[in-house]
Structure 1
């Protein structure tokens, strides 16, 4: 819960109250006492008080479950172990996004270390669409594959998996998307979000790459029990955590529990540049320091994604599995170029979608469609529209009467379940996802009916989420308190991301010394407190909002409280901190 407004802010410039996050200053919790800042950050994000130590430095050992708690895990590990012992032809079938690419790369690299060279199949987003198709699986069987492992897809591929069985092909499904009560036929289906999961359901927040890592652990354990390593070295599964961290963050999986350990330890592995492809991608992204959690989501992930969105779908997994430095540099450069092309395409679609946003009225779920939109960027645009509208958004690219849609949700609204309900109601050709993201295929003539269905189903949840919306603050400091030391203390409570939000500080009172617009829509400001010490501040994407107008027009006489994220200024001549502004409030 959150308590009284810090700084007395009940209605900010952006029209929202400011609240203390979680337990901070909550007098109703008589057991709460002020802790060190890091402890407070952990407690207010759901860490039990008796687990503070393990959450300060999350380790795999501390959070790793027994893989056998998941349904079909042991069956999947046994089948893969058989394939290794028999040198069977195995193909890893992945999705075309980062989670799919990293999941596929993890299994390909692990199997290679175990002496088995697996094939890779990544479907083309435009020509084949999401997930395994009957044609693709039957073709793989015809080419000699005896086992296919689908990663980040397959949980609802009923027709395709039946065709595979009929063709004599064994399929192991490794997925994390929501399942219906009925499950497709498969040799094994490992998914913490199966409705019949028991203990494994507690790990429903894992990305597919996390589930693949658990399968890898189960496989090594199975082979160990069979004596496979009597004359062979065991592969170091932990060396693949850099791939796991990338897929987990890029898929916006909640950074709690095991995922926190994956990312914390994976960043350490990534800093060692052990993966040739990742090292080349870091260089192509022009990162001159060790990557951070933010870099995974905003620098490395988008470049891997660019292959599946606007280029060749298999570029990401090829980069992450190559053993050739020259090939790695060439693929990384190509992905970097494709990412630039993706940005241009995305901006064009985003501009058109934002122009149509006003026509949505008061619908609880924004559903915007357009002909000719590139389906490879609609997920990113949905995320931007969601942020602007402050409610779930689905963007649909229509071509020849069929719409391909991608949606993003807000905390407290399960969009994936609603999309699956729409499919069960006969409104969709296909659809699925998880709480925060979903994909669908819909006939264009049914778009209005779909919008009505989602509006009715999610109206109460969206209203509750909107009512609960407030800007949550973790600390209040004077202007002089925005320092590198503060940033270091705040970062010690990370890694931050979905489900484990980055801390926000309120700083004031300040006057605006200088403000201007940079880039297309960002406001850059220099602010100062009573001591006159200048602080750099940035309000990204706010030039055309009331916040941007306030910063640009405040003048030297008025005083403001600023709320945002304290960051290290990488561009300055000296080591300094800056504030990335989320909101502001007048102090006089």
Structure 2
């Protein structure tokens, strides 16, 4: 791993903020590194308020969207709430449909089938709307590139409202309204909303017309927080406010569907990390293994007994997903080892029998192992479908734009994308993708980077510091958990490897006679030699609390040692 220490603010800046906030210089430095330079910014950061949310009508086309929905309700039209099959899409559909159905019954939901329809707005979905008398489709977390589909719907006299957060193409669909903060002509002040976040802005706008505020919508925040965590959008600005309050709802008063999941996992207080690694995979598993509608059904259910039955089914989907993911990852790694040269800049693998629902997870696993832009292909209908994952600092979406002549369609973000192509174009694409990446990537990006906030002494690690750092949460892109480095530390002599296959490293760290502090390094068992016999070493770590037999102690969560 490359260890990179973030640039340190000037001493004058640190002292000035410390004086204003009456905090230690270490805390000031961490805040300045997060772009927080004034008392007001610090107050907003530590005490997010619902009043910090922007006026939803600042978003381009919001007035048109609200007007069209109000017209549909007034004239008793049927409304179809349409969303993608991942966490962001299913939470969006649950959010908007349950909000509308509180006062208006003529609302149904539609999630495309991952296998027969694929990502985004499908012609099959529009046919379903036409056959069942829907005159308005509200698409969430998809649609900004659905030019042909919206045109097709128009021919069938169906209007579209699009709520998306993906990058639009050069031409926009002919929809009644397109809510997307990434539109070039949209001056909305916060650009990093997820799809469910854009859906939330729509219900905020609808609620404001009835004299309601964000406070009246608080029970929807659990869905938004889950989507924010799962979609890996920055937890800054509005996303921080929505995630902060959403976590409070998840922990204090979760919707019945979440309660059914949480009851199964038996965890007391959930952090955003728990939401990402415990709740989100289960919601995702429905669309991966069976159908995304199962997730929506769970999220809108109000009867606990029914929800528990749904949650049990979804638990099984998740278990099946884990087994498949393990199996396919093994096969994909073998394929790379057997077929690829060492000096490649990309990993591209294909097997027609791989399950389409888990290729995105497998791509992430391969990226972790080989640390290069990765694509995992499988057969889908008469075409090949792939999930792409990237390494930190490299835009895989842009790389795919350089291969468009080989592709049928593609969409996504900087670090994750999906695409389809004809089987005869696979080898040509593989060559072109390698060429584009090799010519544009900085080779240093092919070595994982460990970003460190600052160097500290172990005697600075105190319960008081931990209490302050907890208030930096929720953590995520744009506000990652603070990571520290300490030099010339040593183990007290009892370091050992623990866990299954002794993969993890457990030790007690000291530095220059400081009080000993426990440390755990997950998957660092191979570093045992570095710490044996009280050898000194440098360590990178975050701070954690270890709960054991009812007592809580501070510990270092080791990221790397050398």
Instruction: Give me the TM-score of the superposition, normalised by structure 2.
Output: 0.90
In structure 2, the partner of 1:23 is 8
Q: Distance in 1 between matches of 2:325 and 2:109?
A: 28
In structure 2, the partner of 1:409 is 390
Q: Distance in 2 between matches of 1:520 and 1:188?
A: 55
Q: Distance in 2 between matches of 1:346 and 1:540?
A: 21
Q: Distance in 1 between matches of 2:302 and 2:451?
A: 46
Deviation at 1:305, TM superposition (A): 0.6
Change over 3 Å in CA distance of 1:301–1:571 after alignment to 2: farther
List alignment gaps of at least 5 residues for structure 1. 1-13, 543-547
In structure 1, the partner of 2:207 is 220
- Which of residues 414, 422, 426 in structure 2 aligns to 1:443? 422
In structure 1, the partner of 2:348 is 367
Is the 1:513–1:528 contact (alpha carbons within 8 Å) kept by the matching residues of 2?
no
Change over 3 Å in CA distance of 1:197–1:387 after alignment to 2: farther
In structure 2, the partner of 1:492 is 471
- Which of residues 179, 193, 198 in structure 1 aligns to 2:186? 198
Instruction: Indicate yes or no: 2:43 matched with 1:56.
Output: no
* CA offset digits 1:230-249 (Å, max 9, x no partner): xxx99922221111101111
Q: Distance in 2 between matches of 1:331 and 1:44?
A: 44
In structure 1, the partner of 2:234 is 254
- Which of residues 285, 288, 293 in structure 2 aligns to 1:306? 285
In structure 2, the partner of 1:42 is 31
Deviation at 1:125, TM superposition (A): 1.1
Change over 3 Å in CA distance of 1:235–1:39 after alignment to 2: closer
Deviation at 1:382, TM superposition (A): 1.7
Q: Within 5 A, what are the aligned runs for 1:15-414? A: 16-19=2-5, 21-24=6-9, 31-33=13-15, 35=18, 36=24, 37-49=26-38, 51-62=41-52, 64-194=53-183, 196-200=184-188, 202-224=189-211, 236-287=216-267, 289-358=268-337, 359=340, 361-398=342-379, 402-414=383-395
Q: Within 5 A, what are the aligned runs for 1:443-522? A: 443-459=422-438, 462-463=441-442, 466=445, 470-479=449-458, 482=461, 484-507=463-486, 509-511=489-491, 513-519=494-500, 522=503
Change over 3 Å in CA distance of 1:52–1:362 after alignment to 2: farther
Change over 3 Å in CA distance of 1:447–1:571 after alignment to 2: farther
In structure 2, the partner of 1:551 is 528
Is the 1:277–1:319 contact (alpha carbons within 8 Å) kept by the matching residues of 2?
yes
Instruction: Indicate yes or no: 2:557 matched with 1:576.
Output: no
Moved more, 41-50 or 494-503: 41-50
Deviation at 1:535, TM superposition (A): 4.3
Change over 3 Å in CA distance of 1:387–1:571 after alignment to 2: farther
In structure 2, the partner of 1:540 is 522
Instruction: Give me the TM-score of the superposition, normalised by structure 1.
Output: 0.86
Is the 2:505–2:523 contact (alpha carbons within 8 Å) kept by the matching residues of 1?
no
Q: Distance in 2 between matches of 1:518 and 1:349?
A: 24
Q: Distance in 2 between matches of 1:573 and 1:480?
A: 25
Deviation at 1:521, TM superposition (A): 7.2
Q: Distance in 2 between matches of 1:467 and 1:125?
A: 32
Is the 2:257–2:307 contact (alpha carbons within 8 Å) kept by the matching residues of 1?
yes
Q: Distance in 1 between matches of 2:364 and 2:35?
A: 25
Moved more, 118-127 or 48-57: 48-57
Moved more, 136-145 or 352-361: 352-361
Runs of 4+ deviating beyond 6 Å: none
Alignment RMSD, CA only?
A: 2.7
